[in-house]
Chain A
Amino acid sequence: DTGVSQDPRHKITKRGQNVTFRCDPISEHNRLYWYRQTLGQGPEFLTYFQNEAQLEKSRLLSDRFSAERPKGSFSTLEIQRTEQGDSAMYLCAGAGTVNNYGYTFGSGTRLTVV
């Protein structure tokens, strides 16, 4: 148990459907990151929150993607009108002010779009 929980672990959806993933970091994690990992690749940055403020978004995050962290605790990542190319592992990571480096990843949500 890394302390960062992601739900669901697996999601299979039909193309065109909307999906939402949730990430629960530990309370000390004021920073929260979303990454996407496709098969055979390293994780790629999507977006980053400092408390409830979304401070950076990657160009990978198209307008079909939206992320929120309304109270600075848990975060959600929504993908609208899913496409087959969205199939990937979506990883969430948390980091606090004490440990500024090498943040803690959750186990990820594996999305399959059919």
Chain B
Amino acid sequence: GQQLNQSPQSMFIQEGEDVSMNCTSSSIFNTWLWYKQDPGEGPVLLIALYKAGELTSNGRLTAQFGITRKDSFLNISASIPSDVGIYFCAGQWDTDKLIFGTGTRLQVFP
């Protein structure tokens, strides 16, 4: 099945550092979403972006919807140990199915 290109594949950072990850697609989307998944659990929605160019924050998380509608990035500032997990981007067209990225695995060391 189709998957979006997400980078980096994994990140190992120290607590307190900022993190940046991005997602690109060959197709345009109406909505970009960022999810976090803990081991053995389903993905949990972090941020939803609805308009090209939109910049949205949720606490220490900031995400942007690229102006070409083919990309998005997620920043996490001042990382903490509970930020550990796998982060997925997902693109959506209207209320259609989500197309997920390949994931970025984040490890935070104290």
Contacts and interface: CB of A to CB of B under 8 A. Distances in A.
A29 interface: no
Interface secondary structure of A, over-half rule = loop
Contacts of A44: 1, 3, 100
Interface stretch (A70-78, A79-87, A96-104): A96-104
A56 B97 CA distance: 9
Contacts of A45: 1, 97-99
Contacts of A58: 1
Contacts of B4: 42
A48 B50 CA distance: 22
Interface in A90-112: 91, 93, 95, 100-108, 110
Interface string A34-66: 010000111111001000000010111000000
B43 A43 contact: yes
Nearest to B34: A102
Contacts, number: 67
Interface residues of B, number: 27
Contacts of B97: 33, 45, 48, 56
Contacts of B94: 100
Main DSSP-derived SS at the B contact region: strand
Contacts of B40: 107-108, 110
Given A95-B95, A101-B50, A102-B48, A42 B31 contact: no
Interface in A1-50: 2, 4, 31, 33, 35, 40-45, 48
Given A60-B1, A101-B33, A102-B33, A42 B44 contact: no
A26 B24 CA distance: 32
Interface in B1-27: 1, 3-4, 6
B101 interface: yes
B53 to A, nearest CB: 17
B59 interface: no
By CB atoms of chain A within 10 A, which of B40, B44, B50, B101 has the most?
A: B40
Interface of B: 1, 3-4, 6, 31, 33, 35, 40-45, 48, 50, 88, 90, 92, 94-95, 97-103
